Structure 1
Amino acid sequence: MSSVENYSPRQRRFAPLNPSSSEPSNAPQLKGIVFDVDGTLCLPQNYMFGEMREALGINKSVDILHHIRSLPTPEAQLEASSKIKAIEREAMQHQEPQPGLVELMEYLRDREVKRALCTRNFEMPVTNLLQNHLPKHVFVPIITRETPGLLPKPDPAGILHIANEWGLTNGGENLIMVGDSIDDMTAGHKAGAATVLLLNDHNAHLKEHIHTDLVIEKLHELIDVLENGFVGNKTRMELPS
């Protein structure tokens, strides 16, 4: 494994979305934004993970999705998935949107910025959030735990699939991944996207992580960032090609 000394600094930038910006920019154009769901578009429901692990009889060191995929038979996998879906079904009744959610999405719609979702949730709570809190907004494509043929985050497959669907030939280089977890930051980083961490009470340790480009406390803070030109942290590090 490479040490930090093997990395070199790289500052991610995108040109301002404000068409009347007085300062010309030679930074790349932003082509779209990929959002996580739980903890990003809606307030975190972290209690779910404890309930899920208890239902599956696993401890907190075991990844839930990996555990389900590693079960020996399709029947066992289906039974475990059903338990997880039941917990998510109950939790989605209490979903609350993140502050600034609608304001940000209306801004991105007005600026004609493409939006997609990449989440480890099942499809049902994602649909519930969109129908109840963002009924006039379109996210295409939507990658969930149930999307076939794609490894979940932290693998970059979902983000790269989105870039391909949008006709981008350079992976995630012209995209931003917005999320609240190390899986979000790592998936975005590996896909070549810039990353934005939505800060909460549990992820402050990720502020200085080498996969995190920018940190915000509320979603609507991203509006001014994009209007004036995205500039990532100067501490962003990349392995040499």
Structure 2
Amino acid sequence: MNLFLRSRTFTTKALSHATVRTFAMENQYPARRFAPLSKGKGHDVVDGSMVLKGIVFDVDGTLCDLPEAEQKEAHKKIEDIESDAMRKQIPQAGLVTLMEHLDANDIKKGICTRNFNTPVEHLLTNHLPGHINTFAPIVTRDFRPPKPSPAGILHIAKQWGIISESDVADNGRPVAKRPLPLIMVGDSIDDIIAGHDAGAATVLLRSEGKEDLEKDPRTDLVISRLDELIDVLEKGFESRQR
């Protein structure tokens, strides 16, 4: 469960499911497809499918989790995550296996989170072995505007050379609606909205209480473990049937 979302999701929940679904359907991209990783190296398009260039990850609830007691305490006093709570981070199942596979296939990795920098660095230093390639850029709580704005993901895309400064408006949104060769992986509505609005394909890491989000038209794929993405990417990413 993402530690920082309970107080930020009431607006979406207050809308009727029909209203949210209608808005999402009117603003969604066509079904997303990426070429199999083994065919994509050195290309931008293979057999009509875009080649994946990078994956952006959320942190809490995606790369790591916290025991339930620490989730409640951190929500009441967010700054505590930088002290005792962050030492109780639990890496998500399949984390290292997926990162090794992405590195082996030259897939860039970035982070876009509303977490503080300190617990993010703690996760990367203590729960990932030294041979794992660096996550860069890392967009944290200080970045403005934060998720659900797509600005953080678009900033990462600019740093990776996928888009240019002129592709992003002053409000942090894309100047033109177009799909990007990126995936956003997260566990919250903010992650899915930010990824979708940036033009990235979206992957939801399944968690209790997020069943409605699994059905959201902006969610391209749902997984239960991070390493489930390996088989998906090897066969060629394709949006689920909506």
TM-score bracket, normalised by the shorter chain, equals: 0.7 to 0.9
Gaps of 5+ in 2: 1-18, 41-45, 168-173
Tell me, yes or no, if the aligned pair for 1:48 and 1:88 is still in contact at 8 Å. Answer: no
After TM superposition, give the deviation of residue 52 of structure 1 in Å.
4.8
- Per the alignment, residue 181 of structure 1 pairs with 188
After TM superposition, give the deviation of residue 200 of structure 1 in Å.
1.3
* Aligned equivalents of 1:203, 1:3: Cα separation in 2: 15
1:165 corresponds, among 144, 159, 166, to: 159
For 2:131, the aligned partner's letter is K
Percent same amino acid at aligned positions?
Answer: 51
1:225 corresponds, among 218, 225, 232, to: 232
- Per the alignment, residue 142 of structure 1 pairs with 138
For 2:194, the aligned partner's letter is A
For 2:65, the aligned partner's letter is L
- Per the alignment, residue 59 of structure 1 pairs with none
Q: Tell me if 1:30 matches 2:25.
A: no
Matches within 5 A, 1:184-203: 184-203=191-210
For 1:37, the aligned partner's letter is V
RMSD: 2.4
Gaps of 5+ in 1: 56-83, 236-241
- Which SS does the other structure have where 1:19 is aligned? helix
After TM superposition, give the deviation of residue 45 of structure 1 in Å.
5.3
For 1:103, the aligned partner's letter is T
The 1:45–1:173 alpha-carbon spacing in structure 2 relative to 1, beyond 3 Å, is farther
Tell me, yes or no, if the aligned pair for 1:104 and 1:222 is still in contact at 8 Å. Answer: yes
Regions of 4+ moved over 6 Å:
none
1:102 corresponds, among 86, 96, 99, to: 96
After TM superposition, give the deviation of residue 182 of structure 1 in Å.
0.5
Q: Deviations over 1:36-84 (max 9, x none)?
A: 01110112556556435544xxxxxxxxxxxxxxxxxxxxxxxxxxxx3
* Aligned equivalents of 1:45, 1:15: Cα separation in 2: 37
For 1:153, the aligned partner's letter is K
